[in-house]
Amino acid sequence: MIELSYKILGFLVTLGVLVVFHELGHYIVARWCGVKVLRFSVGFGRVIAARRYGKDQTEWALSAIPLGGYVKMADEREGDVAPRDLARAFNRQNVWKRIAIVAAGPTANLLLAVLLFAGTYMAGVPGQRAQLAEPAPGTPAAAARLREGDLVVAVDGDPVKSWQDLRWRLTKAQGQDSVTLSVLPAGPRAGDPPVERKLAIGQLTASDWEGNAMSVLGLRTDLGSPQIAEAVPGKPGERAGLRTGDRILSIGGNVVRSPSDVAAITNARPGVPLAFVIERGGARQEITVTPEATEQGGRTVGIAGLKLTVDPAVVEKVSLTVRYGPFEALAQGARKTWELSIFTLKMLGRIFIGEASLKNISGPITLADFAGQSAQAGLLVFVGYLALISISLGVLNLLPVPLLDGGHLLYYFAEIFKGSPVSDRAFEVGQRIGMAMLAVLMALALFNDVSRLF
């Protein structure tokens, strides 16, 4: 019940903040351009509460369907406009003002993401050092001659501050054949200047990137042998005899040094019996577990049903906090927003040409689920999640699809080149096409949401 409450509250806060910022962008620029705003609504459909404010008596409304919002302006295409307000009608503004008003919504979402990321950087983002454990033989990391204790400080020249940074830099580089890691060597070489190691990433599939790409590459951290916090009742681990408190030493002959190692091995072998070597009460024993085959993100993975923990002392030793001053935090927030915007566009392109799964498209149920999980994980995680969704909303709204802001911008740029507005017929046909496209997209998103539930 508490978890459901977090999901509902997180969903409402996420939508509320993102919609209000988006529509405020339209509203503020419309007012700057002298356009009369009739209504500012959070939500669609029937108005359930409203108040009027200001010289123009703009109606500030809360509507019944909480899946968006809108700013209604005086516009002769949408209804009668009083003679005294004709000069302030949206449709009578020059094309550059109309472009500014329409683009202001997505821009506001991107600006919000910059501010949210900057806030987290000033508060301090917890993470762990990008220090490597010994890579498994045969992996790209082993082929790149990476060694236990090596500290990654840059990827293709971009600085790496933490393990999370390293994972993002590699994710951003997908599609390339290789990346160059700058590494501070460990052991006898400690104290030497950074050396460069070329890491091959081109052979990773879309499923690898959507799963545990770091493990596939052979990049691991050493957090010690993970301990079982809970063997989920009815799942393979519990049925095989694994218990809370067992320490996992190896699986299928592979030494494990973190929970991600356990996940990588079991995920890769659905339905395959695996020998878990564990330590229980000071004695070693072997238990065979057969991971359960489960559909996850459009691929079949193995699940053992184990909740794992690690020694807090080890975690503390590798933990760090990435923190910046106000100006550097804003610069880093802007950089992160730009990188994620480009990455979002690339992912959409890969989905469109079939290189990435349609399962990556999510709807309101998944949004609520992730919002609840991030809210439970703490304020910083929730703020970061808000920033990610704000970027997605901004980028998606800029796509040249009729009904979206990007579709209207397409009409206005066509008007600039054509020398006159697009015809009413072209506008009407475009709106119908856009409505059909959005209906298909929403149906797909809801289908994916329900599939994840069941």
Measuring CA to CA, which residue among 289, 216, 303, 213 is closest to residue 250?
Answer: 289
List, in sequence order, every residue forming a beta bridge with 321; answer none if it has no partner: 126
Token readout for 397 is: 């709204």
Main-chain phi, psi angles of 69, to 5 degrees? -175, 180
Q: Please name the amino acid found at residue 291.
A: P
CA distance 178 to 87: 58
DSSP letter for each residue of 319-335 = EEEE---HHHHHHHHHH
CB 209 within 8 A of CB 171: yes
Looking from the CA of 148 toward its CB, the CA atoms found within 13 Å total: 7
* Contacting residues for 164 by C-beta, under 8 A, at least 6 apart: 125, 127, 128
Q: How far apart are CA 32 and CA 101, in angstroms?
A: 9
Residue in 3, 23, 148, 339 annotated catalytic: 23
DSSP annotation of 83 reads: G
**Of the candidates 390, 321, 393, 318, the residue with the CA atom closest to the CA atom of residue 115:** 390
Alpha helices in 75-94 (DSSP H): none
Distance CA 187, CA 404 (A): 56
59 is catalytic: no
Say what angle helices 379-397 and 364-377 make with each other, to 10 degrees: 150
Helices (H), 33-162: 95-123, 140-143
d(CA 208, CA 361): 17
Beta-bridge partners for 295: 300
DSSP H helical segments within 35-94, as ranges?
none
Coil/strand/helix, residue 154? strand
d(CA 17, CA 432): 29
Active site residues: 23
